[in-house]
Structure 1
Amino acid sequence: MAYIVKRLLTMIPVLLFLSMMVFSLIHLIPGDPAQIILGQDATPSAVAALRAQMGLNQPLFMQYVQWMGKLLHGNFGTSLIDHEAVMKLIGQRLPVTVELAIGTLIVALLIAFPLGILAAVYRGKWADFVALFTSTIGLAVPPFWIGIIFLLLFTVKVHLFQSSGYVPIWQNPGQNLSTMILPMVATGIREAAVLLRMLRSSLMEVVDQDFVRTARAKGLRGFVVIVGHALPNALIPVVTTAGIQIAGLLGGLVITEQIFSLPGFGQLLVQSVFSRDYTTVQGAAMVAALIVVVVNLIVDLVYGFVDPRIRLTGGRS
C-alpha cells in the first residue's frame, strides 16, 4: 500500500509537467482557431472579437492558469468546433479505442503465448521455425494493409463481418463483435509479433539456467518444465512490453479506426489537431497521459504477482 501511495504521489508532478508540455505544444501549431471557425472571408474585427470571446487574446501563462483551474475541477472546457463539452466527446470516443486496444492485446496474447512456448519446447525444430516465421511476417506487414485485405476478403467477398455501423457492446454484443473482430485481429497480429519475439528470447534465456536443468534432471517433461518453471520467470519483460503496447495503442490505432470507420479516440485527437480545436486536443492529450501513467502503475503492480521475488516497497529485491 505504501508503494501505491508513493507512486500516486509521483504522478502529480509528472501530470503537471505533461500539462505544460501539452499546452505549450498545441499553441505552436500554425493556424488561428478563430479564423478557422469564421472562415477565410471573416473580417479582422470579427476574428478579434471571437478571439477575445474565446480568451485567446490573453497571455499564454494566463490561459494555462485558467485551463488548469478548470481542469482541477473536472472541467476540460468546451470544444471550439463542436461546441460540446470536451469530456462528453472523450466519453463517446474513448470506450471504442479502449475496447479495440483490449481486444488487440487479447488477440496478441492468444497468438504469442502458444507459439512462444512451443518455440521454447521445440527449440531449433519446426515449431521454433513457425514462431519465427509468424513474428517476421507480423513485423513486416503493416496492420493497415492487413486491415484492407480483411475488409476485401471478409466483408466485400464473403460478407461475413460488417465494415461499419459500430454499436457499443452493451447495446448489441453480436453487432459489436461483427464490427470489431477484424480490426482487433488486424492490429493484434502486429502486437503478437512483438510479444512473441520477446517471450521467445526471454524463455530461451531462462531455460538455460540451473533451476530449469535441475527440474529436467528430476525427470519432469519438457512442457511441464517450460510452463511450470521457466515461464513465470520469463514473464517480466513480456509484461513490460504488453504495458507499453497498451499505452501506445491509445494513440496508435488512428489508421485502423479510419480504415474500419470506428469513431474512436484517435480519430477525435487527429481531427481536433487539424481543426485547431485547442480545448479538445488539450483535454484528449491529458486523458491519454493519465491513462499511460496508470497503465505503468498497473504494470509495476503486476510484477509482484508474476514474480513473488519482487517486493513493491519502493524498491526491488
Structure 2
Amino acid sequence: MKVCDIGNLSGGEVLSRPIMSLDYQELLAEGTILRKEYIEKLSELGIREVYIREEINTEEVVLLKDEIENNFKEKVRTVIEKHTYTHSKELVELSKTADNIIKNLLEEEEVIEKIYDIKERIADIYEHSITICSLAILTSLKMKIPQERIHDIGVACLLHDLGLRYLTINYMNKKLEQLSELELSEYKKHPVYGYSALKNEPWISELGKNIILYHHERLDGSGYPLKATDIPVEARIVNVCDAFDEMICGIGCERIKVHEAIDHLRKNKDILYDGKIIDIFLEFTAVYPAGSYVLTTEGEIAIVLRQNKNLPDKPFIKIIYDNKGETVLQDIVKDLSVYDNIYIERVMENIK
C-alpha cells in the first residue's frame, strides 16, 4: 500500500483504502479500480491523495505507443475540426497519416502474430478513429489484402465518422434506443453526411468513400443508412472493428467490457458480421486485457499479467486472493493455457 497524489494517477490503480467524503460518506470502496472519470471527479471534489495497492508489473501489448498515438490523434483532430468549420481542403493530409499508421504497425516485430490488449475506455471520435484504423489494418494484413486497398481502408477509418461532426445531438454512452425518434433519424444520417462531404474529393478512392457510407451496414440488412446486404469486404472489415471499439468506448451505445463486446461479435457471426473477419479479428484481440482483475472458476481473484500467443482467452494471471477471500502473499502465477479445468469467470470492477 502507498499514498499517491491524485495528479499522478493515470487510471487502472486499485484503492487499498476507501475514499470518504468530509461527512464520512463512502465515495469509493476499498478495491475499486480507478477509472479516469473517477480520478477527474475526485480532483473536482478536492481530494488530493489516495491509498493504492502497490503496482504489479504487467506486460501490456498496445497497438500504438502512447506518444505516437497521441500525435496521430492530434493530427486527425486538427485537420477534421478545421474542415468542419472552414471546409478546408487539408483533409488530404489524413491520407499521409493513414500511411504513417501502417508504417508504424509494420515496424513492430511479429506484428500480425501478437495478441493486443485493447481496453474499454472513454474515447472521443478521434481516438476511436485511430484505434479502428489500427485494428482494420491488422485485420487486413492477416487477410493478405493488397497494400493499396489497405491504404484505402486506413484513410476511410480516419474519416469514417466525419459525419458525426455535423450532429448536434448527444449520443455518447447511450443506447440508440434511448434517443428520440428525431434524434435517432439524425444520428443514422452521419455516414451519408461523411460520404457527401467527400464524394467529390479526387484524393480519396471510390472504395474509401464507400467504406465511409457502408460502415454501419449489416449482413442481414438491419444496418443503416441504406439497409444494404451487399457490402464490400473492405467495409465488412471496418464494420467489425468499428462495432467492437464503439462498444468498449460507449459511442452510440452504453460502454461494456471487452469480453462482452467479444461475446457480441461471436454471437452475431454470419448474422450481422462476416464470420471469417471476426475469426481473424479475435486471433489478435485479448479477451481479458493485461491489468484486468478477474474471478476464476476456482473462486480466486487474480490480475492478468500477459497474454498467451494463439490463446487470447487463456492469459497468465497472478493470484491476489484465494477462494476463501484471503490475501495471497506468495507469488503465484498461473498459465491458464495448461489448465483444462480453470477459466476466467468474469471481470471484477472491485476487489477486496
TM-score higher than 0.5: no
Bigger-Rg structure (1/2):
1
TM-score using structure 2 length: 0.22
Superposition TM-score, scaled by structure 1 size: 0.23
Which structure ranks higher in relative contact order (CA pairs < 8 Å, sequence separation ≥ 6)? Answer: 1
Which of the pair is proportionally richer in strand?
2
Name whichever structure is richer in helix by fraction: 1
